[in-house]
Chains A and B, each alone.
Chain A
Amino acid sequence: MDHINKQIINMLQKGFPICDSPYQVVAEQIGLTESDLLERIKLLLETGVLSRFGPLYHAEQMGGALTLAAIKAPKQRFDQIAKIVNNFPEVAHNYERNHELNMWFVIATDVPERLTQVIEEIEKKIELPVYNMPKINEYFVGLKLEA
C-alpha cells in the first residue's frame, strides 16, 4: 500500500468532518483532488483493505448490548460446539484461540435482556459454561498505522 493510502486511512480514523463538502476538506489536507480521494476510498473498500467507512455506532448507546464470551471446548466436540454457537444470529465474530478457553466470540443484541438469554441458551445446548466478559471500561478503540 502506498504512502498516500496510509495517510488517508490515518486521517479517516481521526474523524471525518461534518460539513457540505467533507471529502474536499480532507483532500486538501492530504494534497489530493476531491475526485482522487473518492476514487481511492472506493478502491480501499472494494479490495477489502477497509471493512467500512461511515459513522461508527455505539451498540450500547443505541439501546443494544455487546459482549465478549469464551468457552472451553473439548477437542473432540470443538466443531459441533462451533456450529451451535455460530447458528445464533446474535453471534457476530467467533475465533478459535490457542488457550484452554479456545473459543472466543462476540454477541451483539438489540436489547440487553436478549444477551443473557443467548448465553443461557448456548450453555443449555452445549452443556458447558460460557464465560461472559462484557467490557467494564473502554480505554481505546482505533489504530494508527506505521508510517
Chain B
Amino acid sequence: MDKIDRQIITATQAGLPLTPQPYQTIADQLGISAEIVMQRLSSMQKQKIIRRIGVVPNHYRLGYNFNGMTVWNIADEHIDKMGKKVGQLDFVSHCYHRPRHEPEWHYNLFAMVHSKTETGVKQQISAIAELLGDYNLGHNVLYSTRILKKTGLRIDSKNV
C-alpha cells in the first residue's frame, strides 16, 4: 500500500460517489486519472485489502428484527469444514471461528442469523443444528437486548 492507495481509501471511506462515473469523480478529487483509480481498486481487491465494493444493509431497517448470535461447540479438527457449510446458509450473515474460554465458554463457531419473526429465527437455529448433526457438541443463542454503542459507520448515528 502506497500514498495513492491511502488517498483512495480516505476518499472512499465514507462511500463511493453516487455519480454516473464514480471512479472519475474520485480521480478528479485526487488529481489523478480514472484508470489509475480503477487499477488501484482492482489491485487492492486482489490483495484482499478491499473485501468487495458493495453495500452494508441495516438489518433492523430491512425488517429483520430477530438477530441472534448463535454459538456452537465444534471439535477443532472439524471446525473449518463445518464452518464453511454453515457460512453457506442463506440466512447466515457472518460466520467465524473464535477461541474458546474454558471452562466458562466452550463455543468456537459463531454464526449471526437474521429473521423477521421469532419462529423464523428458531427454524434457522434448528436448520444449523441439523446441518451440524453429531458435530454439534452444544450450542447457545445470544440475542441483543440493548444497543449500548454503535459508531464507526457513517449513517448509524441517524438510526440510534
Name A residues whose Cβ lies closer than 8 Å to a Cβ of B.
1, 9, 12-16, 18-24, 34, 38, 41-42, 44-45, 47-58, 61-63, 68, 82, 85-86, 91-101, 103-105, 108, 131-146
Contact = CB atoms under 8 A, between A and B. Distances in A.
Interface of B: 1, 9, 12-16, 18-24, 34, 38, 41-42, 44-45, 47-59, 61-63, 69, 79-80, 83-84, 86-88, 90-99, 101, 104-105, 108, 110, 114, 140, 142-156, 158-159
A53 B16 contact: yes
Query: Would you call the interface of chain B mostly helix, strand, loop, or mixed?
Result: mixed
Which residue of B54, B93, B94, B98 has the most chain A CB atoms within 10 A of its CB atom? B54
B61 to A, nearest CB: 5
Contacts, number: 222
A20 B23 contact: yes
A80 B135 CA distance: 40
A141 B51 contact: yes
A122 B80 CA distance: 32
Contacts of B15: 45, 52-54
A45 B102 CA distance: 42
